[in-house]
Chains A and B, each alone.
Chain A
């Protein structure tokens, strides 16, 4: 005779702790794979709430398994013939150059997160103090609200609890008074809230002075900046922009592409433009100075300029570049120079910058491989926190 026990839920969800730990390890993996994840994202635009799928490749449970020459078996419909292709494994495409997905041991499963979530837990763990917000804009934002008085209808978050209790007490006193007047001499007993007692805050939109910032992205688009480098640069710029955006309500972005000459371009052009020929880094900096002078008065704007290059500059331009960089430092909150995958014969512009530029708000970083992206970013932002 079998025993049946009716559904007896496990008191505590046993898996919570293991899922939390798994999630934590996943996040660490995401940080490691940041470049891959974010390289496809556009910097400005609607991506805030967009869900992106992240292939989690890092959390494998390794053990000895067979790879090649391992046969598979299936039941068919009888029409199979030797040499037939039954299916094709094309998942290797679009997975980066590792060709992930083609190995039998590969178990990719995806997790869906919004970009905002990624940004949140990335920067949350950074624990950096806010960027310096010394300048106020003259443009007033209309997004802030101010409480002003009460009203009877409203949404729950705006419930004015104290005021509601006061309303109830008022009604209770009134009732008591009325009963005395009517000569009724009994206890009132329980006296519940009535819908009539509820009061909500009335809010008024007000104008408030806001902090404005501009991020100037400067990139070398000469021939030596190949797709891999731009791919890293995009992730780098993306995160910088996201970080600045966390701190300011209004953030504008300017893209400056340069080879021997510099131009203001759209985001798309910025990442896809390829020019032949050499590099004058100074051209990019001068363009930035021009843009600042025309549109972003440093008294009203917090200016963040970042330059990404592979370090390949014409020697005769080095002095001019240093000069312009110094000027940028004097106008910007933060000016960063990031060298991505420098070539063997690069012209040591990084070394020259390090020697000649003493400004506190100047920061130099190097990204040699994908994994360096996150440390490089931290490096840039830490510098700022020191000054802030």
Chain B
């Protein structure tokens, strides 16, 4: 440790002033200086050590520890929580320069949390910490309730975790009421009826079935199970808690590249302006280059985001990126601002797995860059999660029908089977999932005894 607490105060004050001068706007900032073990725990519990207990956090801990031990991943410099006040953990063992760089980086994140559209409408920073604590308290009370107990809670949590990303993905979208959906379906039907082409023979259009459940394909599987399943109150509450916590994390999933790029852009700018003494300046350049270094075999979000902002500033000035950080998410960020020149500069390429080899599919030349841009923008954020929807429910035998919205990417079969088992056990009846495997229509079904069968239809 080559610094004192008062060093940190001095530097953070300079940094904060600089951040304001640059136009950043943030929540009040609090830093906690933690040691290595506590940082591990904070990381595993995503910054909330008060989170509810589940073995998956234990697994994450062991895994992270192993990764650090074998030097497979670098030590975290910081960890920032989207809350108001914004809380960040700094690793005690870091050098003074790393602390300075990290503090500047944290102000970037803080500004992003406060201003980006998804965070603004999707999360409630004021109540973040308190709501996580409440959730943990509720779940612990179920664990301590002798009529429920740890294992029953664990079973529901296992299932809820497997479905947690199958929730409505559009942040801030208002749920239509049943009545509004019915009206919408009727309107569409009436339109089709009155606007048919008089030159063509009249087509029979069936009126919509307004007793169907769900009325139209429904994205939010967890919510559907809560609404229509036979769950007890505590089971519903568990699902609801996992769903709420996921909703809090979705903006982070959706803006990983933008958020890290933004923080990296600002730590770089602020440290440039800080007038660092020569010795610190050299370390700054080195550390910064480590953070935004390209990564072989993958894409470093810090690097990609940093380069895109940098390019935007060069072409349009700094105002442009403030507008971008307000409105975009990774998908639109890449679709709009990853240019041909940038693709070429970063030497982006796309690969696919063929047999046991990974083979280059596209490179960033004139012919390939557009495909790379469009495929990449479809493979970030929630775009990495397959979209599964509830399509129908057989009221006689309660069989639940799901469909995978196929876009050329196949489901991993074993994972789909196991996830269906979770759904079937919560639902208490047969569940069927329609998808496409090897270009063939496929139905994976799982009955209430957790027996899985797969039917493939010929083309």
Instruction: Show the binding face of A for B, using Cβ within 8 Å.
Output: 1-10, 13-15, 17-23, 25, 59-78, 80-90, 92, 102-105, 109, 111
Contact = CB atoms under 8 A, between A and B. Distances in A.
Interface in B192-240: none
B415 A65 contact: yes
Contact of A83 (B303, B360, B379): B360
A74 B298 contact: yes
Nearest to A25: B55
B414 A103 contact: yes
Interface string B1-31: 0000100110011001000000000001111
B425 to A, nearest CB: 12
B86 to A, nearest CB: 9
B92 A7 contact: yes
A85 B357 contact: yes
Interface of B: 5, 8-9, 12-13, 16, 28-35, 37-38, 40-41, 44-45, 49, 53-59, 61-63, 66, 85, 92, 103, 154, 161-166, 294-300, 303-304, 346-353, 356-363, 368, 372, 375-376, 379, 384-386, 388, 404, 408-416, 418-419, 422
Contacts of A23: 58
Nearest to A105: B412
A4 B379 contact: no
B386 A15 contact: no
Contact of B414 (A18, A82, A105): A105
A63 B162 contact: yes
A73 B361 contact: no
Contact of A63 (B161, B347, B362): B161
10 contacts: A1-B13, A4-B30, A14-B49, A60-B418, A63-B165, A64-B411, A67-B411, A75-B346, A76-B363, A80-B349
A72 B92 contact: no
Contact of A62 (B38, B59, B63, B422): B422
B221 to A, nearest CB: 9
- B interface, by DSSP: helix, strand, loop or mixed? mixed
Q: Which 5 pairs, one residue from A and one from B, show the smallest C-beta to C-beta distance? A: A67-B412, A22-B58, A18-B58, A62-B418, A19-B58
Contacts of A74: 295-299, 348-349, 351
Given A15-B44, A76-B347, A80-B360, A69 B58 contact: no
B42 to A, nearest CB: 9
Contact of A86 (B8, B41, B162, B359): B359
Contacts of A86: 297, 351, 358-360
Contacts of B8: 4
A71 B410 contact: no
Nearest to A91: B356
A1 B20 CA distance: 12
A128 B393 CA distance: 51
Given A4-B30, A71-B352, A86-B297, 13 more contacts: A2-B13, A3-B85, A6-B5, A6-B33, A9-B35, A18-B55, A22-B59, A22-B62, A63-B415, A72-B352, A74-B348, A75-B295, A84-B359
B163 A22 contact: no
Given A61-B162, A87-B297, A70 B379 contact: yes
Contacts of A9: 34-35, 38
A84 B360 CA distance: 5
Contact of B35 (A7, A18, A77, A80): A7
Nearest to B300: A75
Nearest to B346: A75
Contacts of B410: 66-70
Q: Point out which of A8, A83, A87 has the most chain B C-beta atoms below 10 A from its C-beta.
A: A87
Contacts of A25: 55
A292 to B, nearest CB: 48
Q: Point out which of B44, B53, B353 has the most chain A C-beta atoms below 10 A from its C-beta.
A: B353
A95 B157 CA distance: 30
B411 A73 contact: no
Contacts of B358: 72, 85-89
A72 B162 CA distance: 23
B356 A1 contact: no
Q: Point out which of B44, B356, B357 has the most chain A C-beta atoms below 10 A from its C-beta.
A: B356
A19 B61 contact: yes
Given A62-B415, A62-B422, A66-B386, A15 B30 contact: no
Contacts of A22: 55-56, 58-59, 61-62
Contacts of B299: 73-75
Given A22-B62, A75-B347, A15 B41 contact: yes
Contact of A71 (B62, B164, B297, B351): B351
Q: Point out which of B8, B16, B372, B411 has the most chain A C-beta atoms below 10 A from its C-beta.
A: B411
Contacts of A71: 350-352, 361, 375, 379
A20 B162 contact: no
A83 B31 CA distance: 49
Nearest to B418: A62
A25 B57 CA distance: 13
B391 to A, nearest CB: 15
Contacts of B300: 75
Contacts of B352: 69-72
Contact of A73 (B5, B29, B379): B379
A80 B35 CA distance: 42
A13 B41 CA distance: 8
Contacts of A104: 353, 412
Nearest to B166: A64
A164 to B, nearest CB: 38
Contacts of B40: 15
Given A5-B31, A80-B349, A70 B295 contact: no
A73 B62 contact: no
A245 B347 CA distance: 61
A81 B361 CA distance: 8
B32 A5 contact: yes
Q: Point out which of A22, A71, A78 has the most chain B C-beta atoms below 10 A from its C-beta.
A: A71
B411 A14 contact: no
Contacts of B416: 64
A18 B298 CA distance: 31
A83 B386 CA distance: 27
A74 B346 CA distance: 9
A76 B13 contact: no
Q: Point out which of A1, A19, A88, A109 has the most chain B C-beta atoms below 10 A from its C-beta.
A: A19
Nearest to B344: A78
